A = this chain, B = another copy of it.
Amino acid sequence: MGNLISVDRKMKFQNFKRSELAERLGRLARICNDLDIPILIIVDGWESSGRGYVIKDLCREFAAKNFDVEVFDKDESFDDLYPFIRKFWVNVPEKGKIKIFDRSFYYKIFEKKNLSDKEIQKRIDSIKSIEKALFDDQTIILKFFLNIDKKEQKKRIEKLEDSIKEDFYIDGLDVDQVKNYKDYEKHFKKTLVASDFSYSRWEIIDSNDRKAASKEVLGLALDKISQGIERVVRQREENENEKRDYISSSNILQNIDLSKSISDDEYKEKKDKLQDEVAKLMYKFYQKGISQVLVFEGVDAAGKDGAIERLIKKVDPRLYSVHGISAPSKEELSRNYLWRFFTKLPRDGYVGIFSRSWYGRVMVERVEGFAKTNEWDRAYGEMLDMEKQIYDHGSLLLKFFVTIDKDEQLKRFKDRQREPDKQYKITDEDWRNRDKWDDYIEAMNEMLERTNASYAPWIIVEGNCKKYARIKVMEEYIKAAKNHLKKLENKK
């Protein structure tokens, strides 16, 4: 590990007092608070490498209301019921606040020295997606790895074992690391090199001397946070003026045959059977402990909610939750936009249905200017990253896009205004959105083109005939669900 440690740098901070460094760090934290910049500090490393000591020093001068330490030492019983990255997403820092991860997602690699290279790379890809998304979202990310040599680790663990008082800090991994120090060292090195991203670099800290280590961490935090502030301020200025020169030429929606329809009789004949089958399949997924994420997007009044109601008509209501996604709340706005969706992911066996979804980022937020160009432009990749996590967890992920033409929308808007029971469904906003029909179609076309991944394909649903759309949603669901189950069978 020695060659990863910078001796020069270590010297640089040794002339300062820790209290002095901590005070300066406290001031920088207040600036970040003023500027609404979130900070994520990861402190990971060998067992007994002194994470607690370092974290305590780091926090000394942070305002108590502005930071929080999350300890990721053990998985809760329910953590395994979700994509592994979810619990970290749920804990991302708010704007202006500091989150310290005591251990982190890297622990999910570090703790297992026998992980295959392939599995390591897969987890690093997941980690990369969260770090990249947070970095791009103006988060300052600091990653410290506390390194100690074998002799020091052995000494510390023996001391800990002698003292009941500190049992807080001991678990079986301690002993295993001392025993297999070389193997772990190799494992750590490999992981650290592979996850040393340009936007979130590792700092390897020589922690054989706790005080010196802590001083170095404080000094580095100072340097990196002040650089981070500069970066964010510059980035904000640039973003203000940013325009995109690229224009998507996709016209998927223009080429859809919206004349497709079915008769009332055919609808009646098919509906009940399909609903029974959907109910059976969803129950089968429950039994097998597989979660399902169903996304419904589409132009206003296309019939998303109607299709959802029919789809789940006969399903045990304990199995699903339907999330109607509207404008984000204060809590949601103060974190990365994906946070509110990670918190709503269904656990194994259950179904999460999203009536509108994360795709709002590249539709309403793009068209109405709620997101800046660079924000929605990079969202295509971020959303696919999230979906990849869901897919890799083994879930079924389907995305339905229900569409109608402009005349049909006008007809439905007018219907809604006429019928007292439906008036609540139509607002001034709907009319305003309609004025921007072409902008929305352009945004939707680009979205359909750029986010149609093999693991998360879009299913276009022709919606002019409501009944046709409802049947199609059910049929497509059934086809995909059966396929998913068969694929799982074959894997065994």
Contacts and interface: CB of A to CB of B under 8 A. Distances in A.
A317 interface: yes
Given A52-B316, A287-B168, A323 B65 contact: yes
Contact of A77 (B76, B305, B308, B353): B76
Contact of A55 (B52, B318, B424): B318
Nearest to A334: B329
Interface residues of A, number: 43
A318 B102 contact: yes
Contact of A318 (B64, B71, B312): B71
Contacts of A321: 68
A230 B316 CA distance: 31
A13 to B, nearest CB: 21
A347 to B, nearest CB: 11
A65 B312 CA distance: 12
Contacts of A324: 65
A69 interface: yes
Contact of A168 (B52, B78, B286): B286
Given A331-B329, A424-B34, A318 B69 contact: yes
Contacts of A102: 318
A287 B77 CA distance: 21
Given A71-B318, A329-B330, A167 B287 contact: yes
Interface in A62-88: 63-65, 67-69, 71, 76-78
A275 to B, nearest CB: 12
A68 to B, nearest CB: 6
A317 B76 contact: no
A315 to B, nearest CB: 9
A56 interface: yes
A242 to B, nearest CB: 30
A416 B321 CA distance: 49
A324 B68 CA distance: 12
A89 to B, nearest CB: 18
Pick from A68, A71, A355 the residue with the most CB of B within 10 Å: A68
Contacts of A309: 63-64
A194 to B, nearest CB: 28
A100 interface: yes
A426 interface: no
B318 A353 contact: no
Nearest to A71: B318
Contacts of A59: 317
A318 B52 contact: yes
Interface of A: 30, 34, 52, 55-56, 59-60, 63-65, 67-69, 71, 76-78, 100, 102, 167-168, 283, 286-287, 305, 308-309, 312-313, 316-318, 321-324, 329-331, 353, 355, 421, 424
Shortest beta-carbon contacts, A-B, top 3 = A65-B324, A64-B322, A59-B317
19 contacts: A30-B421, A52-B318, A55-B318, A56-B317, A60-B313, A64-B305, A64-B312, A64-B322, A64-B353, A64-B355, A65-B305, A65-B324, A71-B318, A76-B77, A77-B78, A100-B317, A168-B287, A329-B329, A330-B330
